[in-house]
Copies of this chain bind each other. A is one copy, B any other.
Amino acid sequence: MSKKKVGIWLIGAAGGVATTSIVALDALARANARGKTGGKGPDRAGHAASDITTALTSELPPFARLDLPGWGDWVVGGHEIRDISLPDAARSMAGPEGFLPAKYLEPAMASLEEIARRVRPGTIVGAGPTIAALAGPDVPREESAQDAVRRIQADIEQFMADEGLEHVVVVNVASTEPPIDADRLPHRWADVEALLDSPTCPLPASTLYAIAALKAEHADTTASYINFTPSLGSTPAAIGELVHLRQSRHMGCDGKTGETLLKSVLAPMFARRNLDVMSWVGHNIFGNLDGRVLDNPVNKSAKVRSKDHLLSEMLPRPPQTHVSIEYIESMGDWKTAWDHIHFRGLLGVPMTMQFIWQGCDSILAAPLVLDLARFTELARRRGHVGPMPFLASFFKSPYGVSEQAFDRQFAMLERWAEQE
C-alpha cells in the first residue's frame, strides 16, 4: 500500500451522510492507529474492536487480504451549498433528537473543524428550485454551467495539490434533483461539452459536478466519481465516454441502504420458490433534509423510480407496485418503511408478507460511502477504467448491470476481490 494519501471529496459535505462518514472515518482512523481494526488483515477479534468496523463491507473476511487503503490514509474535503458549518451540522445530528452517538462525535470535533476549512461553496446551476432555496450567501446565483464546472474543478484540483493526494474519489451525497431523462441528452461527450456554454444548458448540477470531477487533475493525480444519489450525475452515455477519455472510473447510482436492499434480497426468494408476487407496496416515511427535498413531487419522482424498477427485473411476472415517500418531520433521520407483499402459492392461494424497516438513513448510507471509496481506490490501483460493475451490490440502479439480486451482486464483488 502506498504511503501517499487518498482523498474523498463529498458533494453535500455537511449533509447527514457526509457528516456521518466523516465522524466514522475519524473513529476508524484512530482505532486503526491503535491497532484496533483489521485495517487490511484478518487480525480483528472480539467485540470491542469490531464495533467500529460494524457495517463496513470492506472489513469482511473475503476482503481482508486486499490492498485496500487504511482508514488513516484518507483526507476529506467537499462542496456544500448551505450556509452551515460542518461542526454545527454534526452537533445538530447528535443530541436528543439526533442519531450520532456522542462518544464518537466528541473526539471527531477536531477533524470536523479541520475538514470544514476544506469545504467549498457548491453550485445550484440546474439543481431545481427546492434545492436552490437552501443555498447560502457564498453560492453564486448567476454562474453559467461552464463557470460552475471550472470553479468546482479548480476546487478539487486545489485539494489534490494542497494535500498531495494520489487520487481523489468524488462522491455525490447531495439531495435528489428533479429527474432528467438521460436518453434525451446528446450521446457523445463532444456534444455535451458544447452545451456547457449554452445559456440554456440542460445539465443538472450533479452532472456538472461529475464533469468537473472527471476533468480535474493535478500533476498525475486524477479523480473517480461515485453517484450515490438518484440524480443524473454521470448516468448519461456522454459522461461514460468522458470517463473513458479520462481513463477514470465511475459508478452509481443511488445507494441501496434499506427498503430497496430488502427488495433485492426478498424478490429473488419469491422467484426461486416460484411464488407469484401479485403486488408489492412500499411506503416510506422520514424527516431529514433529504426528505424535505423529496417532499417536492418533482424531486420525489426520481427517487420513486429508482426504488421501484427492480421488482419487475427480478420477478418473472411484474407485480403491481407502488412506492411512496413522505416527509414526516418528527421522524428526523429515522426512515421507516412498511412493505406489503401479496403473493400466490400453490393452487393460487393468496398469502402475505409484510416488513417494517426502522433504520437511520445516514448511519446506513455512510458505511457504503466509505466502502465505495476504498474499493474505488483499489480499482484504480488495479488499473480499472470505466464503470465498476463489481460494485453493483451498493446501488439501487447499478450502471451497466442488469443483475438486481443482492446475493449475485455480492458474489460479483467477491469474485472481483479474488482476482489478481
Contacts and interface: CB of A to CB of B under 8 A. Distances in A.
Contacts of A340: 285, 336, 338
Contacts of A344: 51, 54-55
Nearest to A96: B101
A405 B55 CA distance: 19
Given A274-B53, A283-B338, A329-B279, A345 B359 contact: yes
Contacts of A324: 283, 324, 326
A109 to B, nearest CB: 15
A23 B348 CA distance: 13
B274 A348 contact: no
Interface string A1-36: 000000000000000000010011001000000000
Interface stretch (A122-130, A133-141, A239-247, A262-270): A262-270
B274 A347 contact: no
A269 B265 contact: yes
A392 to B, nearest CB: 13
Interface in A353-372: 353-360, 363-364, 366-367
Given A57-B274, A265-B265, A330 B342 contact: yes
Given A96-B103, A324-B324, A338-B340, A273 B55 contact: yes
A219 interface: no
Contacts of A20: 346-347
Contacts of A42: none
B338 A363 contact: no
A340 B286 CA distance: 12
Nearest to A256: B273
Given A103-B96, A348-B101, A328 B342 contact: yes
B274 A349 contact: no
Given A57-B274, A338-B354, 4 more contacts: A24-B346, A55-B273, A55-B346, A354-B355
Interface of A: 20, 23-24, 27, 47, 50-57, 59-60, 96-97, 99-104, 261-262, 265-266, 268-269, 272-276, 278-279, 281, 283, 285, 317, 319-320, 322, 324, 326, 328-331, 336, 338, 340, 342, 344-360, 363-364, 366-367, 393, 405-408, 410
Closest 10 CB pairs of A and B: A278-B330, A407-B407, A55-B346, A355-B355, A279-B330, A352-B358, A349-B363, A55-B345, A354-B356, A283-B283
20 contacts: A23-B347, A53-B274, A54-B344, A55-B273, A55-B275, A55-B345, A57-B273, A96-B101, A278-B330, A279-B330, A322-B326, A338-B354, A345-B363, A346-B364, A349-B363, A351-B359, A351-B364, A353-B358, A354-B355, A356-B356
